[in-house]
């Protein structure tokens, strides 16, 4: 008797468990589970090697905008591939990188005039931090040493060491403390768990007072204030009250500290406008973008800045004011070509205009979830949604990490065809911007049912 040939999925699963190391994943558990292997995408759906369809409830980790396999984006990449896949920006240039820079400046918040490419959100943040420090060194000697940063607690700006230094998610970061440079932290506007135990709006955003105190006392050492504008995404979509960001801008101007907007998660329509800063007409001094820049097709990122900052780096070579930073794939033509097509789709398909009613629909669809006994808070800004699960709704007592509520709800939702990636016990829904109302309704209904089912069963896995 011959042994039956393993099917392709089983073979791939074996190889995955043998050779791969997945990010943010406890591999001991992974090795005991059947991996879900995604082979195709179409619109808001992902399809596994067995042909089973799933709704992409995370936009493939917050990157996809116009759906998978969009014809215009596919075409742009294929065309670019027939011309040039890669050439460096070190000492050379290429048409897609030039054209994209021009387009980005056209759509960016006021004041952004220069584009520096890199290849992921973390590096875009690193570039912003290094630019800020070098800027102050080269601009004026009387501003102070200005070589550290203010940031909010629970911030997440990426996983490289500089980005981790200005981040503050203990579970991810505490282990690396010895590698990090010192920073200054302030409490975030986490209204559901207000650090000052106040209530919005009667608090009148009192959380800004300590921030002003820090800026007043320490501005001579602060190169910049780095912030995720409007939504602290990885912290659990903590949404800042209206006017908060604008006030931060005013304070940074008043105390001569650069405002670094990390729009890696919030950029490209995710909050309902092209960039979150544009909700409050806030011009940053530096802005990091990534994720949605290529519509979810290629790893490309950029740091945008003002003409004033750019000018501080100009001089003769021997002045050594050059920004000595770059990556092998900086300005990669394939990434830039697909990013250009992404921006073109925004125009052609009126993505932002068509998004507005869907944002309202999402708000309506989420309403019934407030009734669930373990839903403590629901936060929404545009197409960024978080549902905070709590053990006790009255006291807001969180589930213990070991309960793995987010993980369990995710597993349940997957059984019903919705892919999610929770942040601890906070469920996150970030659909592609192209998702239509009926598909949104299906996503929210699966999530609703999964939360209801799992939170009703007390057993821990």
Ligand X SMILES: Cc1ncc(COP(=O)(O)O)c(C=O)c1O
Q: Name which of 270 and 408 has its Cβ closer to ligand X.
A: 270
Smallest distance from the beta carbon of 122 to ligand X, in angstroms?
3
Instruction: Find how far residue 68's CA is from the centre of its chain.
Output: 19
Q: Where are the beta strands (DSSP E) in 157-300?
A: 184-186, 222-227, 231-232, 238-239, 258-262, 286-289
- In angstroms, the CA 41 to CA 23 distance is 21
Cα–Cα dist 163/156, whole Å: 8
Confirm if 292 and 267 have CB atoms less than 8 A apart.
yes
Q: What is the DSSP pairing of strand 238-239 with strand 397-398?
A: unpaired
Q: How far apart are CA 265 and CA 233, in angstroms?
A: 7
C-alpha 159, offset from chain centre: 12
Least CB distance to ligand X at residue 200 (A): 23
Q: Which CB sits closer to ligand X, 43 or 432?
A: 432
Q: Minimum distance between the CB of residue 226 and ligand X, rounded to whole angstroms?
A: 9
* Least gap, CB of 151 to ligand X (angstroms): 11
Residue with the CB atom nearest ligand X in the bound state: 121
Is the Cβ of residue 21 or residue 317 nearer to ligand X in the bound state? 21
Shortest Å distance, C-beta 255 to ligand X:
23
DSSP string, 374-396: TEEEEEEETTEEEEEEEEETTTT
Q: How far is the CB of 107 from ligand X (least distance, A)?
A: 19
Which C-beta is closer to ligand X: that of 49 or that of 239?
Answer: 239
Give 181 or 370: the residue with its C-beta nearer to ligand X.
Answer: 181
Give 291 or 448: the residue with its C-beta nearer to ligand X.
291
CB of 233 to ligand X, least distance (A): 4
Query: What Rg value do the Cα atoms of the chain yield, rounded?
Result: 23
Name the nearest CA neighbour of 374 among 359, 394, 357.
394
The CA–CA distances, whole Å, from 93 to 59, 87, 331, 335 equal 31, 8, 8, 14
The residue among 274 and 446 lying less far from ligand X, judged by its C-beta, is: 274
Closest distance to ligand X from the beta carbon of 313 (Å)? 23
Q: How far apart are CA 348 and CA 352, in angstroms?
A: 11
CB-wise, 68 or 291, nearer to ligand X?
Answer: 291
Helices H / strands E in the chain, number of each: 15, 17
Interface residues with ligand X (CB under 6 A) are 120-122, 125, 156-158, 228, 233-234, 262, 264-265, 290
Structure-token match 């105390």, residue found: 255
Burial class from Cβ neighbours inside 10 Å (0-12, 13-18, 19+) for residue 51 reads exposed
Q: Treating both helix axes as pointing N-terminal to C-terminal, what angle do 405-415 and 437-456 enclose, rounded to 10 degrees?
A: 130
Q: Report the nearest approach of ligand X to the CB of residue 35 (Å).
A: 21
Q: Which is nearer to ligand X, 103 or 228 (CB)?
A: 228
How many Å apart are CA 444 and CA 212, to the nearest integer? 40
Q: Supply the DSSP symbol for 43.
A: B
Contacts (Cβ under 8 Å, ≥6 apart) of 205? 189, 241, 243, 244, 247
- Rounded to the nearest whole angstrom, what is the least distance from the CB of residue 181 to ligand X in the complex? 17
Cβ nearer to ligand X, comparing 55 with 293: 293
Q: 109 vs 290, which CB is nearer to ligand X?
A: 290
Pick the closer one to ligand X by CB: 233 or 409: 233
> In which element (H, E) is residue 426 found?
strand 426-429
Q: Is 68 helix (H, G, I), strand (E, B) or coil?
A: strand
- Cβ(303)–Cβ(329) under 8 Å? no
Q: How far is the CB of 130 from ligand X (least distance, A)?
A: 15
SS3 455: helix
What's the closest the beta carbon of residue 299 comes to ligand X, in angstroms? Answer: 7
Residue 283: φ, ψ to 5°: -90, 115
């Amino acid at each position: 008797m011959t042994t039956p040939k393993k099917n392709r999925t089983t073979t791939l699963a074996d190889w995955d468990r043998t050779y791969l190391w997945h990010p943010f994943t406890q591999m001991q558990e992974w090795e005991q589970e059947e991996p879900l292997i995604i082979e195709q995408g179409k619109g808001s759906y992902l399809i596994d090697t067995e042909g089973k369809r799933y709704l992409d409830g995370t936009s493939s980790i917050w990157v996809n905008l116009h759906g998978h396999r969009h014809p215009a984006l596919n075409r742009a990449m294929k065309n670019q591939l027939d011309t040039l896949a890669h050439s460096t920006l070190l000492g050379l240039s290429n048409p897609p990188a030039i054209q994209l820079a021009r387009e980005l400046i056209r759509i960016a918040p006021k004041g952004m005039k220069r584009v520096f490419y890199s290849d992921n959100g973390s590096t875009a943040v690193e570039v912003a931090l290094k630019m800020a420090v070098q800027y102050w060194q080269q601009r004026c000697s009387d501003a102070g040493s200005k070589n550290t940063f203010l940031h909010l607690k629970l911030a997440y700006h990426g996983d490289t060491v500089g980005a981790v230094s200005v981040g503050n998610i203990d579970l991810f970061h505490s282990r690396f403390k010895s590698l990090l440079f010192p920073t200054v932290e302030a409490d975030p506007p986490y209204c559901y768990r207000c650090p000052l135990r106040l209530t919005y709006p009667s608090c009148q955003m009192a959380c800004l007072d300590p921030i002003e105190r820090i800026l007043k006392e320490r501005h001579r050492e602060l190169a910049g204030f780095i912030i995720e504008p409007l939504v602290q995404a990885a912290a659990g979509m903590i949404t800042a009250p209206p006017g908060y960001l604008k006030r931060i801008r005013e304070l940074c101007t008043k105390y001569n500290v650069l405002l670094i907007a990390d729009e890696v998660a919030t950029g490209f329509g995710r909050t309902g406008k092209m960039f979150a800063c544009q909700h409050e007409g806030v011009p940053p001094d530096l802005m990091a973008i990534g994720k949605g820049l290529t519509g979810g097709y290629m790893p490309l990122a950029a740091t945008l800045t003002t003409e004033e900052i750019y000018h501080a780096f100009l001089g003769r070579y021997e002045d050594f004011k050059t920004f000595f930073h770059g990556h092998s794939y900086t300005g990669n033509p394939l990434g830039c070509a697909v990013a250009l097509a992404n921006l073109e789709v925004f125009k052609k398909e009126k993505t932002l205009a068509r998004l507005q009613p869907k944002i309202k629909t999402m708000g309506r669809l989420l309403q019934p979830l407030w009734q669930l006994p373990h839903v403590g808070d629901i936060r929404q800004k545009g197409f960024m949604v978080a549902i905070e699960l709590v053990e006790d709704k009255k006291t807001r007592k969180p589930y213990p990490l070991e309960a793995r509520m987010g993980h369990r709800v995710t597993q349940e939702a997957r059984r019903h065809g919705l892919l999610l990636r929770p942040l601890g016990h906070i469920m996150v829904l970030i659909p592609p911007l192209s998702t239509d109302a009926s598909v949104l309704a299906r996503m929210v209904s699966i999530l609703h049912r999964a939360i209801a089912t799992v939170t009703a069963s007390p057993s821990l896995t």
